[in-house]
Amino acid sequence: MKPLKIAVAGLGTVGMGVLTCLAKGGEALAQRAGRELQVVAINARSRGKDRGMVLDHIPWTDDPVALARSDADVVVELIGGEGGVALDLAKAALSAGKHFVTANKALLATHGAALAALAEKNRSALRFEAAVAGGIPIVKAMRESFVGYGVRSVRGILNGTCNYILTRMEATGNEFADALAEAQRLGFAEADPELDVGGGDTAHKLALLASLAFGTAPDLAQMSVTGIRHLTYDDIRFAHEFGYRIKLLGIARQMPHGIDQRVQPAMVKIGTPLADVDGAFNAVMADVGEAGPYFFEGRGAGAAPTASAVVADIVDVARGANGPCFGVPAAELSALTPALPDSRRAAFYLRFAVLDMPGVLAEIAGRLAESGVSIESMIQRGRSPGEPVAIVMITHESPEPAVARALKVIAASDKVLGNPCMIPMETG
């Protein structure tokens, strides 16, 4: 059989990881693929950069979009970004009948449905295992392994930067800014970390998981996104006192009248699988109904894990895997119907910074009661009279809008300092 010819756009950490993996894999990869895997073209912004590997034997293309006009069978896009050159290359490659492999979650979360339709029109494969959770094979599992009973919900720690920061805050007692600075020094966080800590990166990945789970077009507009900047060490410490850890989760659930998609910090009970995920690791838990829960954990970023996922997609293409990239034909991807706001129910952790004055606790409890929210347990830390103190509560299960309405009223009190903190409790 003829070799599978590969063009690679983007020679950063992941791109060089892919070239290294292909070079080292050699004959073993060819055996698994059923044919030789041959890199026939590469592109990056800087041609002369030392990348720690001799690349002189591979033809260089100055224009990444021109890779779509090369003799490659598959184009691998590792440039990044939701539009621009990455989108131009994707359209050009798929229009030319090339197979397309990418690690670009932003591109697919924004343009995934249209690119899937273009791939099917031209009988090309579109694969993106590396776009979600690095080396964890969750995309393939969601697309192929869970079709028997269907997915009811998917929850995941999808951003290693945030998980590292929360783990370090817990271990050291540092506040968010110090833990972020440490993550930046060690290379776990970008110089501009907002996409990570603001929840945007998790949102891109969750949009793809929701599409795979429920047969909907990726939809960022119908997603609630909250990051971790507002969390304090006190929140982490109080969570422990109640028997929980705080994790940034991406959650997609099938509700009675729609799909609930959200990215948010959540309280996860100590000793459960998601709570035990530390450092820069990722994890995904899928509820597959009668087939039971499935839990995946591994490295969510880095050269080797992400390159491993890219190469796995290339091998699938070499074998002839060419089914719909989201598990159902692009024309059958439905528009996502968001769940009704009142259908989102949970117990909530609430933290208030208040003046230590008579009547403040009664006022907070009264406002919650007026919205139909009852208190299960509470911690109050006393200080000198007149100084701010923390009041922390766990509510009984309540509709989220009711809790939010109560907090809005409470925040307006002259006895309450700043906005209250509200974190939902996640079971399992």
Residue 277: CATH number of its domain? 3.30.360.10
Phi, psi (5° rounding) for residue 262? -155, 150
The amino acid present at 366, given as its one-letter code, is G
Exactly one of 98, 105, 205, 247 is catalytic; name it. Answer: 205
Are 349 and 425 in contact, with CB atoms under 8 Å apart? Answer: yes
Do both 150 and 273 map to the same domain?
yes
Do both 87 and 125 map to the same domain?
yes
Phi, psi (5° rounding) for residue 418? 75, -175
**Overall average pLDDT of the 280-303 stretch:** 93
pLDDT band at 385 (very low <50, low <70, confident <90, very high): low
Nearest-angstrom CA–CA distance, 88 and 92: 6
Q: What's the pLDDT at 50?
A: 81
Q: What's the pLDDT at 110?
A: 97
Domain presence at residue 318: yes
pLDDT band at 117 (very low <50, low <70, confident <90, very high): very high
Tell how many helices (H) and how many strands (E) occur in the chain.
Answer: 12, 17
> Which residue has 């060819």 as its token pair?
30
Are 78 and 310 in contact, with CB atoms under 8 Å apart? Answer: yes
Do both 256 and 289 map to the same domain?
yes
Percentage, residues of the chain above pLDDT 90: 85
Q: What's the pLDDT at 119?
A: 97
User: How many other CB atoms are there within 10 angstroms of residue 374's CB atom?
Assistant: 11
- Which of 77-81, 300-304, 333-337 is the least confident region? 300-304
> What are the pLDDT digits (tens) for 194-203?
999 999 999 9
Do both 14 and 52 map to the same domain?
yes
- The CATH number covering residue 413 comes to 3.30.70.260
The amino acid present at 105, given as its one-letter code, is K
Are 154 and 252 in contact, with CB atoms under 8 Å apart? Answer: yes
**Overall average pLDDT of the 12-34 stretch:** 94
Do both 146 and 262 map to the same domain?
yes
Do both 292 and 399 map to the same domain?
no
Pairing of strands 4-9, 37-43: parallel
For residue 32, what are its two tokens?
């698994």
Q: Which of 382, 111, 92, 349 is nearest to 237 (CA)?
A: 349
Do both 295 and 404 map to the same domain?
no
Domain presence at residue 68: yes
Q: How open is the CA angle 201-205-207, to the nearest 5 degrees?
A: 115
- The CATH number covering residue 112 comes to 3.40.50.720
pLDDT at residue 383 greater than cutoff 80 = no
Do both 56 and 170 map to the same domain?
no
For residue 350, what are its two tokens?
């609430």
Domain presence at residue 187: yes
**Overall average pLDDT of the 284-311 stretch:** 93
Q: Is 49 exposed, middle or buried (0-12, 13-18, 19+ CB in 10 A)?
A: exposed
Domain presence at residue 336: no
* 24 included as an active-site residue: no
Q: What's the pLDDT at 397?
A: 95
Q: What's the pLDDT at 130?
A: 96
Range of the domain at 193: 139-299
Do both 219 and 352 map to the same domain?
no
The amino acid present at 276, given as its one-letter code, is D
**Overall average pLDDT of the 79-94 stretch:** 96
Do both 115 and 202 map to the same domain?
no
Nearest-angstrom CA–CA distance, 77 and 89: 8
In which element (H, E) is residue 317 found?
Answer: helix 303-319
Q: Which of 296, 301, 277, 276 is nearest to 285 (CA)?
A: 296
Are 424 and 266 in contact, with CB atoms under 8 Å apart? Answer: yes
Domain presence at residue 337: no
Phi, psi (5° rounding) for residue 244? -130, 160
Question: How many residues are recorded in the chain?
Answer: 428
For residue 255, what are its two tokens?
């509700």
**Overall average pLDDT of the 349-367 stretch:** 91
Do both 177 and 282 map to the same domain?
yes
Q: Which of 247, 263, 228, 245 is nearest to 154 (CA)?
A: 263
Q: What's the pLDDT at 382?
A: 63
Are 374 and 395 in contact, with CB atoms under 8 Å apart? Answer: yes
Do both 188 and 275 map to the same domain?
yes
Mean pLDDT of all residues belonging to the chain: 94
pLDDT band at 225 (very low <50, low <70, confident <90, very high): very high
For residue 122, what are its two tokens?
């031209």
**Overall average pLDDT of the 17-44 stretch:** 95
Bridge partners for 157 per DSSP: 283
pLDDT at residue 207 greater than cutoff 90 = yes
The total of structural domains in the chain comes to 3
Domain presence at residue 256: yes
Domain presence at residue 268: yes
Taking phi first (over 0 means left), then psi (-120 to 50 degrees means alpha), and beta for anything else, what does residue 359 get?
left
In 173-302, alpha helices (H): 176-185, 194-197, 200-214, 233-242
In which element (H, E) is residue 371 found?
Answer: none
Nearest-angstrom CA–CA distance, 208 and 204: 7
